[in-house]
Amino acid sequence: MTARLEHKTALVTGAARGQGAAAARRFVAEGARVVLADVLDEEGKALAAELGDAARYQHLDVSSEDDWAAAVAGMDRLDVLVNNAGVLHFSPLADTKLADYQRVININQVGTFLGMRAAVPLMRTAGGGSIVNLSSVEGLAAAPLLTAYTASKFAIRGMTKVAAVELGQYGIRVNSVHPGMIDTDMIKEAAGGVELDLNRIARRVALRRAGRADEIADLVVFLASDESSYCTGAEFVADGGATATHALNVT
Ligand SMILES: NC(=O)c1ccc[n+]([C@@H]2O[C@H](COP(=O)([O-])OP(=O)(O)OC[C@H]3O[C@@H](n4cnc5c(N)ncnc54)[C@H](O)[C@@H]3O)[C@@H](O)[C@H]2O)c1
């Protein structure tokens, strides 16, 4: 059986840990060459070293135009871009500081825009490509305390569709992924480092548990591969059933 991502070169942002790291691992296992990009240099370099010759680490702050220019300048081709880097910030709307709002928007939303823009010339040269943008269930519906995060994830969902409509003519597909609660460090870190039982918090979703990073990586591999050749501008939800119901659910 041939590997599902053979002959493809991918760049995954936020790949030092969590869902980005899980995607990078699966990409290498499926035959891709992978650039792991992050601001956590030690963790990113260690994972790239562990993954071997098919992987290398690139320091890339996704909110920096210069970092994107440097990252793509070092690449001879790019078939898959996963805009995965992201941050979460909890605060009530009325107490949200402008600096916190802008930090979340700059990383999640501006980072995704800059990434897509940087990828287009290389993908056009390659004759096509796949861009996978990590949105969230917060790109589909609201959650309290998440004004900046929700705004950024709705924006990613929207710009994914614009990019898909513009870039389809070049064979470039663009889709958004909407995970529910996934067991990574992101939520715990945003909650101030406290130990949280995510499975307990997620007990009301249909599957009665939080998701795992490797479960999202499986979906990202599908979208990166030619198996999704007719999918573009679409929303791929992997949330254990969280958005299948609404707040009036009586159970
Ligand atoms: N964990 C969840 O419940 C959940 C749910 C839905 C969507 N998501 C989204 O999935 C993506 C991955 O999150 P995760 O759960 O793996 O969290 P994580 O915190 O484990 O990983 C996020 C990664 O992004 C990196 N990063 C942060 N700022 C960066 C920057 N400026 N430039 C480059 N890299 C940067 C971090 O260093 C980290 O490696 C994010 O976009 C997140 O919003 C997460």
Q: What is the pLDDT of residue 186?
A: 95
Q: Residue for token digits 């840990």?
A: 17
Q: Any residues with CB less than 8 A from the CB of 67 and at least 6 apart, and which?
A: 59, 60, 61
Q: What is the pLDDT of residue 44?
A: 98
101 in catalytic set: no
Closest CA to 191 of 87, 85, 90, 86: 90
Kindly write down the DSSP assignment for every residue of 116-151, as one continuous string.
HHHHHHHHHHHT-EEEEEE--GGGTS--TTBHHHHH
Cα–Cα distance for residue pair 201/159, rounded to 1 Å: 30
Q: Please give the class, per CATH, of domain 9-240.
A: alpha beta
Protein residues whose CB sits closer than 6 Å to any atom of ligand 1: 13-14, 16-20, 38-40, 60-63, 84-87, 107, 134, 136, 179, 181-182, 184-187
Q: What are the per-10-residue average pLDDT scores of the chain (251 residues)? A: 93 98 98 98 98 98 98 97 98 98 98 99 98 98 97 98 98 99 94 89 95 98 98 98 93 78
Q: Residue for token digits 């979906």?
A: 219
Structure tokens that stand for 78 in this block: 């790019």
169 alpha carbon – ligand 1 mean position (Å): 30
CA angle (188, 192, 195) in 5-degree steps: 45
